[in-house]
Amino acid sequence: TTVRNPHGIHVRPAAAIVTTLADLDAEVLLSNASNGRGPATADSLSRIASLELQKGHVLEARFSGPDADKAREALAELAARDFGEDWRRTRQPAAAASIGRRLDTPLDPAELPPAADRRAVVGVINRSTTRPTTAGYRPMSPKEELTRFTSAQDEVDQFLTDLAASSPAAAGIIEAQRMLLADRELQHGVVGRITAGFSAVDAVETQLTELTRSFDQFADPYLRERGQDLRSLRRLLLLALTDQPLADQSPNTPCIWLLDELDAATAVRLDPRLCRGVITLTGGSSGHGMLAAQGRGIPVLTGYPAADQFPDGQVVAFDPVTRELWPDPNDALRAELERRNALRTESAEHAQSHAHEPAVTRSGVRIQVEANVASLDDAVSGAREGAEGSGVVRTEVLFANATSAPTVEEQADIYTQIGRTLNGPVTIRSWDPAADKPLSFLAQDPEDNPALGSRGIRAMRPHPELFADQLRAILLAARQIEARLLLPMVTSPEEVVWARQVLDRVRLDMAAPELPVGVMVEVPAAAIRAADFASLVDFISVGTNDLSQYTQAADRTNAAVRELARQDAPAVLDLIAMTCRALPGVPIAVCGDLASDPQATATLIGMGVRELSVRPRMVAEIKAAVRQV
């Protein structure tokens, strides 16, 4: 049978195969005829997943034993139903169900204090890392360790059963985790290790880490994400073994979340009323999760591996601006942090008192200050801060939790709402799947080097209709609001020619008027050859987040190269200056994070930049910085 599921046979469909065949007395061997993997016995979920059956691959099955015919029929019937996965409707974002509790309560950005995301915070750690602390665990005899493992397994199973009942939306993922828990390979591995003298904690840790690694090696990004299901299971088993509660301990009191990493889909669901701040063990300073969380007024400290030592309930303080972190803050420190916060709030409030006035330099140059938007909340925050439109709407983050491609009407509706909220033009960027923000509804081919692969506009070439639909939506919105189109990750003029052809086709179909088209300069090649774009663009927007990562060859999500990825690195500034010089008369905006840095405002204006699109909560402060230039 040919696999039709967009993400192939990952954990959930594999779980369906195991359950369907479980009661039959048959041996079923599965192979992937397309990549030669297998055979794998159909009674182990992780073995089935290891076949890496992707969409379009051919699944072969061989049956033996008394119930062979029944098994063949049952499997054929399941395959006809896409292995029980109505993937058109049921896809869930991975992080949502696997890391603790997330709240979907609407957020009123007006409730957030000024400079909320720049506040130093004190709070109790709520570990949602996938590795709880196991310090203090005392191993006993292998027999006793086996008993401990079995009862931990029962406890986790019961916990998952209750969880599935209370959150039907996540029931699919939770059921798959229960299946994994009962998986033969997992069982054998753990029991084998305990019998060989490992403690239950070590056996669980090693066996599940090994299994997780095999998922991490899968080529398909979606399948790789399923490793999260296993990590989540490892966490639950370790919690059960060390007698810690399985549920989040303090879901109703604000605490500081300690996460492995923060992806955008999770960040847009964080509730600042319950999440005082976020510390991540990995991640750079301009990853999309971090930008999205800040937009929600949440202070974030990314890429802080040393925080892994803190157990649940530990009181810590951190300053997101200076990147300092302290355990057990004493009164003197608390007072110092209060002072810092008071200064930041004061400067934010002062800026806000002039938020709705234009930003004009001392020498009379008018700068348009806009908000970067990844949610309607960002538009609301931006408007409150005096944003004069948006220099980039990150549509892929706006729809980060979409389970299927949003329709033209759904898109047009939200773009229009953003436009009505903001007082000025709205620059809508076409889908920009990147290494750390896949398009949730688009399965892409695996890549060894995703940051250098089929990203941004490149990823649209194989999907012209997906792109065309987005252009239709933007044109529809443009009937109500002032809209512009922005093309991400452009490398060569030929890409703009292609995009314009699609735009013209769609536009003529709709009898719509012309729309300003801009190109993001975030690939060094585009900056170096900026003049080649002169006749193709109405404006340029410099994306310094990517421009710095590609210029400095320093992954923006990697804490180890944080300093190299600095956006004010001389080479990055030179490329911005070069772009401005090469395109006289073309309006140049900066929408990367450098625009949100008041220290860089004068430099950028000096180069000829006249439009700054910034973090929504920084609009008023950047306006204030402009007035100092």
Going by C-alpha positions, the residue among 49, 30, 44 that lies closest to residue 184 is 44
**How big is the site for Mg ion, counted in residues (CB under 5 A)?**
3
Q: What distance in Å separates the CA atoms of residue 393 and residue 376, rounded to the nearest whole number? A: 10
Residue 54 interacting partner from Mg ion, ligand PEP, none (CB closer than 5 to 8 Å by kind): none
3-state helix, strand, coil in the chain (%, to 5): 50, 15, 40
Q: What distance in Å separates the CA atoms of residue 552 and residue 383, rounded to the nearest whole number? A: 34
Q: Select from 98-106, 209-217, 541-549, 559-567 the region that touches Mg ion (CB under 5 A).
A: 541-549
248 and 380 in contact (C-beta within 8 Å)?
A: no
Read off the tokens for 107.
């957020």
Residue 173 or 428 with smaller CB distance to Mg ion = 428
| Cβ at position 512, least distance to ligand PEP in Å | 26
How many residues belong to the chain? 629
Residue written as token pair 């020498």: 363
Among 290, 543, 565, 604, binds Mg ion (CB under 5 A): 543
Site string for Mg ion, 439-478 (x = CB under 5 A): ----------------------------------------
Residue 276 or 394 with smaller CB distance to ligand PEP = 394
Q: What distance in Å separates the CA atoms of residue 490 and residue 525, rounded to the nearest whole number? A: 9
Q: Select from 43-51, 181-189, 537-545, 598-606 the region that touches Mg ion (CB under 5 A).
A: 537-545
Residue 31 or 596 with smaller CB distance to ligand PEP = 596
| Cβ at position 545, least distance to ligand PEP in Å | 3
Residue written as token pair 């923060």: 262
DSSP symbol at 406: P
| Cβ at position 356, least distance to ligand PEP in Å | 25
Q: Select from 24-32, 200-208, 521-529, 603-611 the region that touches Mg ion (CB under 5 A).
A: 521-529
Residue 611 interacting partner from ligand PEP, Mg ion, none (CB closer than 5 to 8 Å by kind): none
Q: What distance in Å separates the CA atoms of residue 519 and residue 533, rounded to the nearest whole number? A: 8
DSSP symbol at 38: E
Q: Is 546 in the site for Mg ion (CB under 5 A)?
A: yes
- Rg for the chain (alpha carbons), in Å? 26
Residue 229 or 546 with smaller CB distance to ligand PEP = 546
Q: Select from 77-85, 458-466, 497-505, 515-523 the region that touches Mg ion (CB under 5 A).
A: 515-523
Q: Select from 213-221, 367-375, 411-419, 536-544 the region that touches Mg ion (CB under 5 A).
A: 536-544
Residue 189 or 389 with smaller CB distance to ligand PEP = 389
Residue 46 or 430 with smaller CB distance to ligand PEP = 430
Going by C-alpha positions, the residue among 335, 275, 321 that lies closest to residue 100 is 275
| Cβ at position 556, least distance to Mg ion in Å | 9
* Cα angle value 341/344/347 (rounded, 5°): 145
Name the H helices within 242-371: 264-267, 288-295, 331-353
DSSP symbol at 305: G
What DSSP string runs through 329-343? --HHHHHHHHHHHHH
Going by C-alpha positions, the residue among 426, 413, 417 that lies closest to residue 473 is 413
Residue 425 or 543 with smaller CB distance to ligand PEP = 543
Strands 483-487 and 426-429: parallel
Residue 117 interacting partner from ligand PEP, Mg ion, none (CB closer than 5 to 8 Å by kind): none
Residue 235 or 394 with smaller CB distance to Mg ion = 394
Residue 16 or 290 with smaller CB distance to Mg ion = 290
Task: Provide the binding-site residues for ligand PEP, judged by CB under 6 A.
Answer: 392, 394, 432, 434, 522, 543-546, 591-592
Residue 352 interacting partner from Mg ion, ligand PEP, none (CB closer than 5 to 8 Å by kind): none
372 and 378 in contact (C-beta within 8 Å)?
A: yes
Q: For residues 4-43, which are near Mg ion according to CB under 5 A?
A: none
Q: Which residues bind Mg ion (CB under 5 A)?
A: 522, 543, 546
